Structure 1
Amino acid sequence: MKVILTGATGFIGGEILTQCLDHPSITSLVVLSRRPIESLSSHLKAKVIIMEDFKSYPEPVVREISDADACIWAMGTYDGNHQVEVEYPIAFAKAMMQERRGGKFRYVHLGGAFTVEDQDKTLWFMPTARRGRGLGEFIMRNFAKENGCEERWETIVMRPSGVLKKDRFMFLNPAIVDTIGFIRSDECAASMIDVALNGSTEGVWQNSAMVAKGRTLLEQ
């Protein structure tokens, strides 16, 4: 399968990148990035496309990505920046549908456990960030319906809670980690990649389901 990845230089995106490169079902990986990624310069499976503006997709870029099977959108902010959370993903979706001809495209969106789609809901902590990310989730979940492409586009939102580095806090009992509501970065990445490759009957995945799926995959 051909997969597109954004946010590859970030904490979670970096782990997704590593696992994508090792996954036998992913034969081609297109990374959309603002800057070069030196480790991928000679990788046979990966191609990095430098994006000067994530709101604009030149024709050569559209041609390169339009035949992909899925995208893992791991780009996000901690402050709910409207341009990054809303404008960037919607620009990507419209560019994809511009030239796509066959097969349903699967879009896996990295959200968060505390995001809120209701923009009028009263929030007592991090209101701007939670609403901003929630608005991005809402718009992307409804993209296919709003643009008449339900036969060609599928959105799945993943909502991890606190994400821990995979090689940190290994001394913690998994039961304690589960009770607190954390997820390891490798569990998060594994669950997102699996959904991108195999689809899901659920349109939204909460943290507990991601932990269970990721843990099972990593134990195989």
Structure 2
Amino acid sequence: MTFKIVLSGISGRIRSQVLHQALRSPTITSVIALSRRPFPDLEGHDKLEVVVVENFMRYPEEILAKLSGADGCVWYMTTTSGDLVLEVEYPKAFAKAFASMMTNDGRRFRYVHISGAMVERDQSRTLRLKGSMRKIKEGHISMAAVESYTGGSWETIIARPGMVVQRGSLAGETSMMVAGSSGSFIRSDQLALALLDAVVHGSGELLLPLVLLQRGQKLMREAGETQE
């Protein structure tokens, strides 16, 4: 069995952890990383191909050819400022481009979109705290249109993690200890495992902070890795 996954970006603490866990996974056999710049230090990895995308609004034929046959995607391109183009237009452009070459072969493409714990689905609701940003981050619900014209072959999974902390950092470990099992905080390695598991196996529920934390912790236990 082969499983080909697309990642939107691999730089940064969280996205690099998703890449790390994807390359470790025996289930994932191929990783296509869309990036604005090359990563020479990653060249030569037998499972990874870094594809440089100059404009995330356009996907020329040579890039689509590399994406062909992908089984899933983790889209982790977000900001704290609520950039409309980056938060909404980029993922829509990817979805439209990828869906244009999908075939009804019975396979289901799973698209995991990372949002935030405080995003607001009701676009008419008045919010006092960072209202415009929280609404923009939920703009990806327009992905439902993609599902409709792909004949059900596209599945959108929404992930809303809480605060993501780094394993081993004093502030991160203290936050995890104080928050306990509430899901308010999650380690980047736990989140990465939960996201990849959702891509490979699907998810019948919205991936809220507590769901992601419990899923990530369970996967770490099953892999025999320490939670400490």
Classify the TM-score, shorter chain: over 0.9
Deviation at 1:175, TM superposition (A): 6.5
2:123 is the counterpart of 1:119: yes
2:159 is the counterpart of 1:155: no
Residue number among 15, 20, 23 corresponding to 2:22 in the alignment: 20
Q: What amino acid maps onto 1:190 in structure 2?
A: L
Structure 1 counterpart of 2:226? none
Deviation >4 Å, runs of 4+: 171-175
Q: Residues 120-162 of structure 1, C-alpha deviation per residue, up to 9 Å, x if partnerless? A: 21111112211111112x222x1334x4224210000000011
Structure 1 counterpart of 2:208? 206
Q: Residues 52-89 of structure 1, C-alpha deviation per residue, up to 9 Å, x if partnerless? A: 00000001111110210000101111111111111100
Q: Contact 2:39 / 2:50 at 8 angstroms: preserved in 1?
A: yes
CA distance in structure 2 between the aligned counterparts of 1:166 and 1:143, rounded to whole angstroms: 38
Q: Contact 2:82 / 2:133 at 8 angstroms: preserved in 1?
A: yes
Residue number among 193, 196, 199 corresponding to 2:196 in the alignment: 193
Structure 2 counterpart of 1:92? 94
SS at structure 2 position matched to 1:4 = strand
Residue number among 104, 108, 113 corresponding to 2:108 in the alignment: 104
TM-score (normalised: structure 2) = 0.89
Q: Contact 1:7 / 1:76 at 8 angstroms: preserved in 2?
A: no
Equivalence map 1:1-220=2 (5 Å): 1-101=3-103, 102=105, 103-136=107-140, 138-140=141-143, 142-145=144-147, 147-168=148-169, 169-170=172-173, 174=177, 176-179=179-182, 181-202=184-205, 204-220=206-222
Q: Contact 2:5 / 2:32 at 8 angstroms: preserved in 1?
A: yes
Q: Residues 84-124 of structure 1, C-alpha deviation per residue, up to 9 Å, x if partnerless? A: 11110011111111112132211011111001122221111
Q: What amino acid maps onto 1:9 in structure 2?
A: S
Deviation at 1:42, TM superposition (A): 1.4
Listed as ranges, the gaps of 5+ residues in structure 1 are none
Q: Contact 2:179 / 2:185 at 8 angstroms: preserved in 1?
A: no
Deviation at 1:177, TM superposition (A): 3.4
User: Which deviates more from structure 2 when the two are superposed, residues 192-201 or residues 169-178?
Assistant: 169-178
CA distance in structure 1 between the aligned counterparts of 2:119 and 2:174, rounded to whole angstroms: 29
Deviation at 1:48, TM superposition (A): 0.5
CA distance in structure 2 between the aligned counterparts of 1:38 and 1:165, rounded to whole angstroms: 25
Q: Contact 1:116 / 1:135 at 8 angstroms: preserved in 2?
A: no
Question: What is the alpha-carbon root mean square deviation over aligned residues?
Answer: 1.6
Listed as ranges, the gaps of 5+ residues in structure 2 are 223-228
Q: What amino acid maps onto 1:157 in structure 2?
A: I
Q: What amino acid maps onto 1:130 in structure 2?
A: R
CA distance in structure 2 between the aligned counterparts of 1:175 and 1:58, rounded to whole angstroms: 48
SS at structure 2 position matched to 1:170 = helix
Describe the shift of the 1:181–1:37 C-alpha distance in structure 2 as closer, same or farther (beyond 3 A).
Answer: same
CA distance in structure 1 between the aligned counterparts of 2:145 and 2:197, rounded to whole angstroms: 22
